[in-house]
Structure 1
Amino acid sequence: MAVSCKTCKRMGSAWIDPQSGRPTQYCSETCFTVCLNCHINPRAQGVSGPASLFCSNTCLSLTTGDRPGIIEIPESHKGFEDVSEQFDRQWRHKVAKKKVKKVYFVILDRQQMANYNAHKEKVESNNHTSASRQMVEMKMWHGTARICLLGNPGNTQLCEDAGCGVCGIIESSFDLGLYKGTTGWGRFGRAIYSSATSSKAATYSKSPRVSTLNAMLLATVVVGNPEILYQDSPDRTQPSPGYDSV
């Protein structure tokens, strides 16, 4: 089957994805997995997190600087496909499913990356995991208020409005002091909230009236050994002994 490749735009035979066995809209594996920075080499294999979008640590390091920001992941890129597929798969509420229109890669500054890695190392050192239950690091959804139009077509500049949750998180990470958000409480106490259910996080996404689009964050979260709760616990300030998250 001939296709017009979504990356290089050339006509050619459809490349077959070996995992699904199905033809893709790409002419080759390179175009299917091209690096988000150089647009030449394929993405690195066998890695997770931000590194999975780039061909090497060199290309990854070029996106980590002194100021946070966002860069668009084209619809033709495998990274867009991955996020869109996860969004659809994790939409579990019986309401009309939203459609992913735009996907952006969040550029973290060096201090944010250092803070994340330090927290991950701390959780690993807690020894709450075992050989049969390794450290759990997951991509989770977070919905919050967006005051500006960041993420709308042509808008990649962070705003400085203190009420803009999306820009505030990208600029300086999550603020534990704002955990009550617009709800006025926290189901599991004072914590930073994220969800493996995209439709759940979507209920917290708010945007200005002038936009028909909402914004959500997909964050890599260190959950370690998670504690499972089946009832509200709003007075909680930390997980029970032996656990790293709730």
Structure 2
Amino acid sequence: MCSDMSRTRNTICEFPGCSRTVWQDPDGSFSSYCGMTHRDAMKQLNGAGLCKNCEARPVYIEGNRVHEFCGMRCRNAYQQGKENPHSPRASPAPTSSICKLPRCNKPAFIGPDGVPSEYCSNRHRLDAVRGGKAEACLFCWKYPKSRINGKLSDFCSKKCSEDTFDAAPLILMIPHNQASFRDVSKQFRDQWKHPTPVPTVIWKIYCDRGHTDEFARYKLAIERKTNFPGGNSKRRWHGTVRACTVGDSQGQPTLCNDVLCSLCNIIRTSFHAAKAGQRTNFGRFGAGIYTSATSSKANDYVLEPGGSGFKAMLLNDVVLGRVIKMTTGDENLTQPPTGHDSVVGEPGGDLNYDEAIGKGNEAIRPLFLVIYKP
């Protein structure tokens, strides 16, 4: 989105009739609009043409200059003679549709900002959740999750999203019938190389806003530097010490304050490379934050001194960027070699299972807390 240094998080969206505050980009700057829908709708109102490459999104406007493309990716894809399926820019503003509740043919409700709902009324939103036709918001558990740029959000509204991050750090339980529970559970079981335990409870983790923004900025910077979608981010497992029973059941969402509980400290303030490896006093590829695609490998580092009958493991979003693959350890490694952003240890040589090593705190963010029976 086009940004201006004079804008702040309290600036109001420039789309006519909208009273929302403007969107903050991952690089810390602020847009003129509350989101991509109003940005693109405004361009259409102003007569801006469509991107020369994708022919779906409005062209990018920079001051008085009207570009031919919606963004750099479409420009580069056009110059290389290929389509770009990874553009992060949103589709044009949605149009009104029919209520999604089965057997209802009423038009979907359109809010005062011109953005249509997926349902005709709040009553049908409630009925969709109660009838199992839609996934419930992880915060209020009342209304269906909203869809943003074609992707299902964790929340039903901007308010629930803001309330969550205002209360962060915290964990929210994911019901067994939701797609993200099945997805994380499958990844856990598929990547376990021994007789496989089954996750009993899965929680979504929300870090404090400061680290969330820092991670987003780093991810965007690596994406721009490498041209890898999402900065080549991958979901990786991490096992650590849990000195309490947080997460063991639905009634245990509260983080503890024990300085020896690495798990709660990671959820509260994320990872710290300076503290990594203190327990094992060994890092095959030098100091750094170690994760693995193999859940049973991460399980080797799980300790439960708090007396729980369960085990807990973290699934994280790790920005790998441009990786260097190694099969032999180097304990003196302090940074990835020049031109690389991370180190990946591959099986072979002195490694039995994979490892990914990040050297910076901003390159990793905990996503899910998985509770399982050993």
The TM tier, using the shorter chain, reads 0.7 to 0.9
Kindly tell me: are residues 55 and 89 of structure 1, through their superposed partners in 2, closer, same or farther at Cα, counting changes over 3 Å?
Answer: farther
For residue 118 of structure 1, report the CA deviation from its aligned partner: 2.3
Query: What residue number does 1:83 align with?
Result: 184
Work out the number of aligned pairs and report it. 213
Kindly tell me: are residues 41 and 109 of structure 1, through their superposed partners in 2, closer, same or farther at Cα, counting changes over 3 Å?
Answer: same
Within the candidate set 77, 96, 103, 2:202 is matched to 103
Verify the 8 A CA contact 1:30 1:42 in the aligned structure 2. no
> Is 1:60 equivalent to 2:161 in the alignment?
yes
Within the candidate set 138, 144, 148, 1:36 is matched to 138
> Is 1:135 equivalent to 2:231 in the alignment?
yes
What is the alpha-carbon distance in structure 1 between the residues aligned to residue 182 and residue 270 of structure 2? 25
For residue 67 of structure 1, report the CA deviation from its aligned partner: 3.6
Show CA shifts across 1:51-107 (max 9, x none).
74335555433321254111111222222111101111111x2x3212101101112
Q: Secondary structure at the match of 2:237?
A: strand
| Larger relative contact order (Cα-Cα within 8 Å, sequence gap ≥ 6) | 1
Show CA shifts across 1:100-149 (max 9, x none).
01101112211111111122233234x2346xx77311111111000011
Verify the 8 A CA contact 1:239 1:245 in the aligned structure 2. yes
Amino acid at match of 2:162: S
What is the alpha-carbon distance in structure 1 between the residues aligned to residue 306 and residue 287 of structure 2? 30
Share of identical aligned residues, percent? 34
Query: What residue number does 1:72 align with?
Result: 173
For residue 208 of structure 1, report the CA deviation from its aligned partner: 2.6
Query: What residue number does 1:193 align with?
Result: 290
Query: What residue number does 1:219 align with?
Result: 316
Kindly tell me: are residues 37 and 160 of structure 1, through their superposed partners in 2, closer, same or farther at Cα, counting changes over 3 Å?
Answer: closer
Q: Secondary structure at the match of 2:236?
A: strand
Verify the 8 A CA contact 1:66 1:110 in the aligned structure 2. no
Verify the 8 A CA contact 2:240 2:262 in the aligned structure 1. yes
Q: Secondary structure at the match of 1:63?
A: helix
What is the alpha-carbon distance in structure 1 between the residues aligned to residue 146 and residue 278 of structure 2? 37
> Is 1:242 equivalent to 2:339 in the alignment?
yes
What is the alpha-carbon distance in structure 1 between the residues aligned to residue 313 and residue 230 of structure 2? 28
Within the candidate set 139, 146, 164, 2:242 is matched to 146
Q: Please report the TM-score for the alignment, with normalisation by the length of structure 2.
A: 0.52
For residue 234 of structure 1, report the CA deviation from its aligned partner: 1.2
Moved over 4 A (4+): 26-29, 45-48, 55-58
> Is 1:119 equivalent to 2:218 in the alignment?
yes
* Structure 2, gaps ≥5 residues long: 1-128, 344-374
Query: What residue number does 1:17 align with?
Result: none
Kindly tell me: are residues 134 and 101 of structure 1, through their superposed partners in 2, closer, same or farther at Cα, counting changes over 3 Å?
Answer: closer
What is the alpha-carbon distance in structure 2 between the residues aligned to residue 62 and residue 144 of structure 1? 29
What is the alpha-carbon distance in structure 2 between the residues aligned to residue 44 and residue 195 of structure 1? 31
Verify the 8 A CA contact 1:42 1:55 in the aligned structure 2. yes
Q: Secondary structure at the match of 1:169?
A: helix
What is the alpha-carbon distance in structure 1 between the residues aligned to residue 266 and residue 202 of structure 2? 17
What is the alpha-carbon distance in structure 2 between the residues aligned to residue 197 and residue 145 of structure 1? 18
What is the alpha-carbon distance in structure 2 between the residues aligned to residue 57 and residue 220 of structure 1? 23
What is the alpha-carbon distance in structure 1 between the residues aligned to residue 323 and residue 150 of structure 2? 23
Kindly tell me: are residues 135 and 122 of structure 1, through their superposed partners in 2, closer, same or farther at Cα, counting changes over 3 Å?
Answer: closer
Within the candidate set 162, 169, 181, 2:259 is matched to 162
Q: Secondary structure at the match of 2:226?
A: coil
Show CA shifts across 1:206-226 (max 9, x none).
113621211111111111122
Amino acid at match of 2:290: Y
What is the alpha-carbon distance in structure 2 between the residues aligned to residue 55 and residue 151 of structure 1? 23
Kindly tell me: are residues 61 and 222 of structure 1, through their superposed partners in 2, closer, same or farther at Cα, counting changes over 3 Å?
Answer: farther
Moved more, 204-213 or 104-113: 204-213
Verify the 8 A CA contact 2:244 2:308 in the aligned structure 1. no
Root-mean-square deviation (Å): 2.6
